[in-house]
Every structure is written in structure tokens, then in C-alpha cells.
Amino acid sequence: MTPSAIIKLRFIAFTEKARLKIVVTVKQIPDPNATLKLTSDNRLARDGEVVLDPGDEYGVEAALRIKEAADEAEVVLVSMGPAKAADAIRKGLSMGADRAIHISDDGLAGADALTTAQVLTAAIKGESPDLVVCGCESTDGSTGMVPPMIAELLGFPQLTFAKQVEVSGSKVTIQRQTDVGYDVVEADTPALITVTAGVGEPRYASLKGIMAARSKEVKKVGLGDLGVTRGKPAEEVLEVVEAEKRQAGEVIEDDGNAVEKIVALLAKVKAV
Amino acid sequence: MAKIWVFAELAEAKVAPIVLELLAKARDLGGEVEAVALGKGASAAAETLGKHGTKKVYACDDEVFDQYVAQPATDTLEALVKSGSPDLLLFGFTYDSREVAGRLSARLGVGQVSNCLDVEAEGGGFVAKVPYFGGAKIASLKLNNQPAIVLIRPKSFEAKEVGGTAEVEKVTATVGADSKRAHLKERIAEKGEKVKLEDATIIVSGGRGMQGPENFPLLEELADALGGAVGASRAVVDAGWVPYSMQVGQTGKSVRPSVYIAAGISGAMQHTVGMKGSKVIIAINKDAEAPILKMADLGVVGDALKIVPKLTEAVKAKKKQ
Ligand SMILES: Cc1cc2nc3c(=O)[nH]c(=O)nc-3n(C[C@H](O)[C@H](O)[C@H](O)COP(=O)(O)OP(=O)(O)OC[C@H]3O[C@@H](n4cnc5c(N)ncnc54)[C@H](O)[C@@H]3O)c2cc1C
Ligand SMILES: Nc1ncnc2c1ncn2[C@@H]1O[C@H](COP(=O)(O)O)[C@@H](O)[C@H]1O
């Protein structure tokens, strides 16, 4: 068996329904390799270089693999973010997603996790998906709160930290990563899953994919279209300060005595 | 007096270590400290929770919480919160607690602050401290809702037994008709850990400077000699040299051992945020400019591949003395 065939077996899909609909939430984030800045109101500046969150590339990849194993499936990207998020969406479309919804509204600046989840949920509801795929946690926020919130607001079960996903009929089974191995978790669709890097290397966009993405539909929507009004923010940034730094200790060149020095320190703290 | 609830996550029917850390913080905040324990071992957990300063435990031993992910716990917590009205609800920033906290906060419509390093009582409310930019900066976020829901990173506080007993209030599982959905069918253990990373008092961690997975046994031998565990940077986890469970840092584990030895790790913020609480840090790096050397108690500029095996021999010799 070729390696790709083995990978595909993870996503065996026999759907009774004619079409499996998969929504993937994708977030554009400031390029993690660039220098990050704050805005005047202490939020992460989102006007520099942006990329598709690497965690969400795994989400797109997982969805595409499920689609490839299914009789018929559609992969819809949903993203909330400023105009620039269009670049991240294009990347997902170039990888092979079918179309996208881009929620952009000036009234969403500095949205907290709950607002984000409410807005994404409103857009997802309009699609009535069988599966929602998210990253475990965003690379810039690392809060991991948006997916369980969306699952709650949609009334979906959540199957999280999946390193392997299998869709068979109306059943989704995942291997949930744990410290000692994994848990097998199963639910009927519709369901929400979050994926880890374990689902497989995200594919590169081919030239053909990039060309095709140009004509794929990206529907732009605002808060009004979704019928969502923004509530009071759950939190308020009071201040941002430099983290305390540890004092540097002694730095020595390894001239043959380094081991002795390390052992002496270990002995001092009673580690040996 | 503020009413503070700690979500007492249970792992294999025992109180998860993070819970005792949260209780230490809850006591410091000076409120009325109570806990909620759901699932197998909940009532029995009251003894440990009491010793760590909990006055009252709402316990439900129903195994529905162990069989179905997040939803039954959310339903039951919602009912408890509505009748008990806590001011602050503390969760660990762990895989299992995150799932429940996220759903509950959406259910109650109150939001939350996640991935926190600390929480303080201020002006009748609560202010959470959150790392920004991989830990280079710390933001103070004021929570606007009741209950204030805060998720705290493991190893942010030191657990401490203070003695005492908790009153146990048995509660019934309130589980919605549609909440038995994500079914936990099986737990597979692929390997037995010798010493758990987060419990280890000595950690030997390796980064890309170890050159390849074939050199990680050098770190294992040193860790074995010291009775510790092996950790890793994300670069080597991403490269597939070692499993994710060994990753230390922002997107991995937070650790606080008495000794942390970093071999061939550059010391990026996202790594150090997970280990800078260690009592003693020893770093071995061949680049004298590596950031890890600027935060180590003892920094050695040299080749880890040569130094680590020698160190293992020296430790073994010293232990024999
Ligand atoms: C959102 C985000 C989250 C992240 N989360 C984490 C996280 O949780 N944990 C984490 O670790 N990283 C995390 N990172 C990655 C982090 O930024 C660094 O890229 C990573 O920690 C680097 O790993 P490293 O030190 O092993 O590799 P490198 O940066 O490549 O460093 C290797 C070091 O080894 C030294 N070296 C080389 N050869 C030798 C030798 N023979 N002997 C001694 N020294 C040698 C080099 O001088 C160098 O300093 C995250 C990044 C982002 C953007
Ligand atoms: N603004 C957003 N637009 C689309 N998806 C998002 C957004 N914010 C969060 N998500 C999704 O939720 C996951 C976890 O993000 P977080 O909860 O912010 O750590 C991400 O990997 C995305 O899949």
C-alpha cells in the first residue's frame, strides 16, 4: 500500500446523504515570524503581514481528506477578520476548499472569544453543516475557547484534539490526543471537531489550485447580514507591561571544567 | 466576601494536580473557597480538596461525566452556578477543563479569560494576567461579568496543604436530553511514562541542537541518572523526533521543576514561558549569544553532544559516593 492510500483510509466516508457539508473555521493571524506590535488600545495590531493560522491549515487539510474519501462533499471556509483576512482565505481556497464566507465589520474590532464564537456561529448556521472543523487553539491567542463555544452555540457535540478522524455514514470517530496515548471518541453528525498536527501535513497549493481559487466564491458579510449585535465585552485591557525577566547567572566557556561546575550546582540544590 | 469556585477536574478518579494549584490561589484571594467535582471519585476527592482549603464540595459521582465529553458537565455546572452564584469560577487551562469552561461560558453568555498566569481581586472584581507575544509581555484584563470565568495555566502556583475538611454536598447530574453525544469509548495507553513531565523535579530538555532523534537517548540516560524526565522544544516535536507530550512551552506544557537542564535549545520566548518558573536553570548551547544563556543560572557555552554524556557519567559517579 502506498503511504497516501494508508492516510486516506483514515477518512473512510460512506455517506447516505448525497452531500457531506464541512465548514472549516480559518483565522488570519499576524505573521508569527514578523515582529508583533500593539495598537494604541493594547490589542494585537492586525495591519502588518498576515498568514493563515498554521493550526487552521491542518483543519483545511483534514476537511479536504474527508472530502476526498467521501462520495460527494463540499468544504466551506468561514473566517472573521479585517479585509486582509482575504489573503488567508485565498490560501485555503488554493489548497482546495470550495468556497468561503468572510465576515468583516468595523464593529468587530477587538472582539473577544465569545463575540467571535457568536458571529462565526451565525454564519455557520446558515450553512447547516454536517461537520465543523477548527484548529485546537489559535497561534496568536492560544486560548482554545472559540471551538467549544461554537459547539455549544450550535448545540453540537465536540470531538477535540483529534490526531486522526474517521467519518463513516453519520458517525464521526476521532483519536483524541492524550499524554499517554489517545482516547477514542465518537459522535453522530452534526458535530464539531478540532484537529492537531497529527491529521497530516497540509498540502501546498498547486499552481492550478491558485488559479482556480481566483474564481471561487468569497461571500462578504457584515454584522447586519448575520443579525448579530455585539454585546458588552467580556473583558477590558487595563495595561500591558514587560514580563519579568529572570536574572542571568554565570556563563562559562566549556574548557573541560563545565561538567564539574554543573555537578557542583546540582549538588548544591541536592539534585545529586 | 467573594465566593470562589474551583472546578475540580478529576483524572482517573483522582484530583488533577492543577486543582490543588488553583485552590492555593483561591485561598490567597481571600474568598469563600468551594469546589465542584463531577464524575467517578468525586465524593472521595473531598478529602484531598478539604486538606487544600476547600470548605465545601459539590460532588456528583455519576459516571455520565466520564463517558460523555463536556456536555453533561456543562449542564450540571450551569444549574449549580445559577443556584450558587459564585463570583469567580476557576478552571485549569488543561485539555479537559477547557472544553467545559468554553461551553459553560457560551451557555451563560458571560465570556471568559483563558490561558492566564494569574488572577487578582481588584475593586470588587477580578483582573486576570495573560501572556502576550509568547510571554514577552503581560496584559491585565478586567473581567466584566459574573461569574468571572478564568482558566489558569498549570504550574502557575504552588499547591500547599493547609489541613481542613470539606463539607460534601451531593448533587444530582442535570443532563439535558441531547447532551449524551460525544461518547468516550476507549482509552488507549501507548506507552507508560516513567516520570510524568509535569510532576518531575528534574527535567532534561533537548532542542534542535541535539542534531537528531538518535541523540535523544543521551538525554534519557542523564534524566534516568538524575531520576528526572525528558522534555523538548517545539522545533524537535514538529520535526517528529519526539512526541508532543514532551513539548515544553506556550503550546506545550508548563513545568516548574527544581532543576531544568536545556540542551541545544535557543530559548525562544514561547519555550521559556513554559519553564521560567524552574528553580534552577542550566543551559548548554554552543552559541554564546543564545537567549537561553541570558536567563540560566549556569550557562555553558559548548557542545551538548559532548557534555551531556560526560555529565551523565559524573552524576552516576557522584551518586555512588
Ligand atoms: C505561536 C507559537 C507557539 C510556540 N510554542 C512553542 C512551545 O510551546 N515550545 C517551544 O519550545 N517552542 C514554541 N514555539 C517555537 C519557538 O519560537 C522556537 O522556534 C523553538 O522553541 C525553537 O526550538 P529550538 O530551541 O530547539 O531550536 P533552534 O531555535 O533552532 O535552536 C537550536 C539551538 O541549539 C544550539 N545548538 C546547535 N548545535 C548545538 C550543539 N551541538 N550543542 C549545543 N547547542 C547547539 C543552537 O545554537 C541554537 O541556539 C512556538 C512558536 C510560535 C510562533
Ligand atoms: N476570527 C476567527 N475566524 C475564524 N476562525 C476562528 C477565529 N478565531 C478563532 N477561530 C477558530 O478557532 C480556533 C481556536 O482559536 P482560539 O479559540 O482563538 O484559540 C482557530 O484555530 C480557528 O479555527
Q: Cβ separation of A271 and B226 shorter than 8 Å? A: yes
The per-residue pLDDT for A16 is 47
Position A109: which residue type?
A
C-alpha–C-alpha distance, residues B160 and B155, integer Å: 12
Q: What is the pTM of this model?
A: 0.90
Decide whether any atom of ligand 2 lies within 6 Å of the A25 Cβ.
yes
Q: Are residues B212 and B108 in the same domain?
A: no
Per the CB < 8 A criterion, the answer to whether A95 and A40 are in contact is no
* SS3 assignment for B133-188: HHHCEEEEEEECCCCEEEEECCCCCCCCCCCCCCEEEECCCCCCCCCCCCEEEEEE
Q: Which residue range is the domain that position B235 belongs to?
A: 197-320
**To 5 degrees, how large is the angle CA B77–CA B67–CA B252?**
80
Looking at ligand 2, which residue's alpha carbon is closest to its atom 21?
Answer: A135
Per the CB < 8 A criterion, the answer to whether A236 and B130 are in contact is no
Cα of B181 to nearest chain A Cα, Å: 6
The lowest-confidence range among A247-261, B29-43, B179-193 is: B179-193
B271 sits in which H/E element: helix B269-272
- CATH number of the CATH domain containing B275: 3.40.50.1220
Counting ligand 1 atoms within 8 A of each CB, the residue from B233, B286, B301, B303 with the most, and so the one to mutate, is B233
Phi, psi (rounded to 5 degrees) for A243: -70, 150
B114 within some domain: yes
> Is B186's pLDDT higher than 60?
yes
SS3 B303: coil
Calculate what percentage of chain B has a pLDDT beyond 70: 99
Q: Are residues B117 and B201 in the same domain?
A: no
Question: Within an 8 Å CB–CB cutoff, is residue B276 touching chain A?
Answer: yes
The per-residue pLDDT for B190 is 79
B310 within some domain: yes
The cell numbers describing B178, all together, are 441531547
Distances from the Cα of A99 to the Cαs of A79, A125, B63, in angstroms?
A: 11, 16, 42
Q: Are residues B210 and B162 in the same domain?
A: no
Per the CB < 8 A criterion, the answer to whether A184 and B188 are in contact is yes
**Sheet of B202-206, strand order:** A250-253, B298-301, B280-285, B259-263, B202-206, B229-232
Residue at which a domain ends, from B135, B151, B170: B170
Q: Cβ separation of A187 and B182 shorter than 8 Å? A: yes
What region does A169 belong to: left with phi over 0, alpha with psi -120 to 50, or beta?
Answer: left
Per the CB < 8 A criterion, the answer to whether A253 and B301 are in contact is yes
SS3 B258: coil
- CATH number of the CATH domain containing B68: 3.40.50.620
The per-residue pLDDT for A232 is 84
C-alpha–C-alpha distance, residues A260 and B255, integer Å: 26
Ligand 1 center from residue A205 Cα (angstroms): 27
Residue at which a domain ends, from B152, B170, B188: B170
Q: Are residues B165 and B224 in the same domain?
A: no
Q: Are residues B267 and B209 in the same domain?
A: yes
SS3 B218: helix
- The better pLDDT of the pair B136, A22 is held by A22
Position B143: which residue type?
L
With a CB cutoff of 8 Å and minimum separation 6, the contacts of A7 are A65, A200
C-alpha–C-alpha distance, residues B6 and B54, integer Å: 9
As a whole number of Å, the CA-based R_g of chain B is 21
Q: Where are the beta strands (DSSP E) in B31-136?
A: 32-38, 56-60, 88-92, 113-116, 118-122, 125-132
Decide whether any atom of ligand 1 lies within 6 Å of the B285 Cβ.
yes
Which structural domains are found in chain A, ordered by start? 20-226 (3.40.50.620)
Q: Are residues B152 and B19 in the same domain?
A: yes
- The better pLDDT of the pair A198, B148 is held by B148
The per-residue pLDDT for A46 is 66
Phi, psi (rounded to 5 degrees) for A190: -75, 145
Domains identified in chain B, total number = 2
Which residue, among B69, B289, B64, has the nearest Cα to B174 in the 3D structure?
A: B64
B178 within some domain: no
Q: Cβ separation of B139 and A144 shorter than 8 Å? A: no
The per-residue pLDDT for A124 is 98
Which segments of chain A have a pLDDT < 50? Answer: 1-17
C-alpha–C-alpha distance, residues B191 and B189, integer Å: 6
B205 within some domain: yes
The per-residue pLDDT for A9 is 39
Chain A residues within 8 A of B74 when measuring between CB atoms: 152
Per the CB < 8 A criterion, the answer to whether B49 and B35 are in contact is yes
β-bridge partners, A262: none
With a CB cutoff of 8 Å and minimum separation 6, the contacts of B21 are B92, B152, B154, B155, B156, B157, B158, B159
Q: Are residues B203 and B111 in the same domain?
A: no
B192 within some domain: no
* SS3 assignment for chain A: CCHHHHHHHCCCCCCCCCCEEEEEECCEEECCCCCCCECCCCCECCCCCEEECHHHHHHHHHHHHHHHHCCCEEEEEEEECCCCHHHHHHHHHHHCCCEEEEECCHHHCCCCHHHHHHHHHHHHHCCCCCEEEEECCCCCCCCCCHHHHHHHHHCCCEEEEEEEEEEECCEEEEEEECCCEEEEEEEECCEEEEECHHHCCCCCCCHHHHHHHHCCCEEEECHHHHCCCCCCCCEEEEEEEECCCCCCCEEEECCCCHHHHHHHHHHHCCCC
Which residue, among A88, A79, A96, A95, has the nearest Cα to A53 in the 3D structure?
A: A88
B312 within some domain: yes
Phi, psi (rounded to 5 degrees) for A63: -65, -40
Ligand 1 center from residue B242 Cα (angstroms): 14
For residue B247, give the ligand nearest its CA: 1
The per-residue pLDDT for A181 is 87
Phi, psi (rounded to 5 degrees) for B116: -85, 155
The per-residue pLDDT for A245 is 86
Q: Are residues B212 and B141 in the same domain?
A: no
Chain A with chain B: Cβ pairs closer than 8 A: 250
Per the CB < 8 A criterion, the answer to whether B302 and A253 are in contact is yes
Q: Are residues B217 and B113 in the same domain?
A: no
Q: Are residues B227 and B81 in the same domain?
A: no
Per the CB < 8 A criterion, the answer to whether A159 and B184 are in contact is no
Q: Are residues B160 and B205 in the same domain?
A: no
Q: Are residues B113 and B233 in the same domain?
A: no
Q: Cβ separation of A148 and B98 shorter than 8 Å? A: yes
C-alpha–C-alpha distance, residues A249 and A261, integer Å: 13
B302 within some domain: yes
Position A38: which residue type?
L
